[in-house]
Amino acid sequence: MIDIAIIGSGSMGSGIAQVAATAGHQVCLYDSNPDALKRAERNLRKIFDRLVEKEKYLEEEAAAILDRIDYVNSLYDCKGAGLLIEAIVENLEAKQALFEQAEAMLTADSILATNTSSLSVSAIAAACKQPGRVLGIHFFNPAPLMKLVEIIPAIQTEDEVTARAHKLIESWGKITVLAKDTPGFIVNRLARPFYGEALRILEEGFADAATIDWAMTELGGFRMGPFTLMDYIGNDVNYKVTKTVFEAFYYDPRYKPSFTQKRMVEAGYLGRKSGRGFYDYGETNKIPEPVQDAELGENIVWRIVVMLINEAADALYLGIASRDDLDLAMTKGVNYPKGLLRWADEAGIAHCVATLDRLHDEYREERYRCSPLLRKMAREGKRFYSVEV
């Protein structure tokens, strides 16, 4: 009997299928494209061959996991699954059509989950006759390696469904955070300034890409600099997420996309996958040397970090997630060196407010408006966390 149905066999869908099968579930992996399905099967077999070579699994253990995944080219072969997770194209109409079709073949207590990273879960749920059993379960790529999963109940989602999904995903060895159904949820919302403010610094000529990346990694403690990361993700993908969040927030200037990145996409400079992005990845080209000026670097780091802190504070202020889940999401979801709200405490709330006000005074732009929560906390001398002994 099928426990879990995964719809979409791309890297995300096949990764989720791997996670579920490894956790002991019988999995049905469906894709309307037969070639994509065959490719997913080949890739998963290669992955487990490497895991056996690295002695992560015995041969019989890997074989047992792979045997729990059924590759099917008919949605109805997934009939009766207790949990269905869709990982198809980021298109609202396509997801709604899928859920409307899938709902009819599932049992009354089955859960339907979307892996969307940017669309409204409530809008997807609205396509179903029983919207109360629909929610967002957002994995990060690659799903087998990334520990964080965002759980996003829609307005219609029943509490019992959220609790069941939370318990199940944690049983797969994942760390879950609960997020309100708002654009970008936690990670994709809070991370926007990491790219946006870095691009702004570049556009101003304050520093080049290599220097900004050096500052953020060597001085800031981030695993990858913003330009290296944008090239890794793909400038087309990163720009689309920023544009989607910007539009979803009714064109709030804080999320305004960069013309620089737009032109990169238009030129086909997508990053590593195209051989060129903010850096040239050709065989004869080297990454430019950064300007290793400590004072310049610290200014770069703080300007980007204070914008990240402001975004996290506003998310807490608006009830997007709890304090602990906001910090957990950024450390486990995108490997930030520390939680942003804890970072605010260490830097000083008053210092955060003063920096944001200085930027706002300088530029007179709404992107630098200080969160009301930060301003109130600075006035009252409060912290996000109590002082540790």
Q: Exactly one of 120, 122, 138, 311 is catalytic; name it.
A: 138
In order of 138, 141, 365, 370, the CA distances from 360 in angstroms are 34, 35, 6, 8
Q: Exactly one of 14, 117, 122, 310 is catalytic; name it.
A: 117
Cα 19 from chain centroid (whole Å):
17
User: Considering just the CA atoms, what is the radius of gyration of the chain in Å?
Assistant: 22
Annotated catalytic residue 247: no
Angle among Cα 257, 259, 263 to the nearest 5 degrees reads 120
| Closest among 105, 148, 143, 192 to 12, alpha carbons compared | 143
Annotated catalytic residue 93: no
In order of 35, 38, 370, 382, the CA distances from 28 in angstroms are 16, 14, 48, 51
Residue 27 and residue 17 in contact, taking contact as beta carbons nearer than 8 Å: yes
The residues facing 134 across adjacent strands are: 112
Annotated catalytic residue 41: no
Q: Exactly one of 115, 118, 122, 188 is catalytic; name it.
A: 188
Annotated catalytic residue 188: yes
Q: Exactly one of 9, 25, 103, 150 is catalytic; name it.
A: 150
What residues are annotated to the active site?
Answer: 117, 138, 150, 188
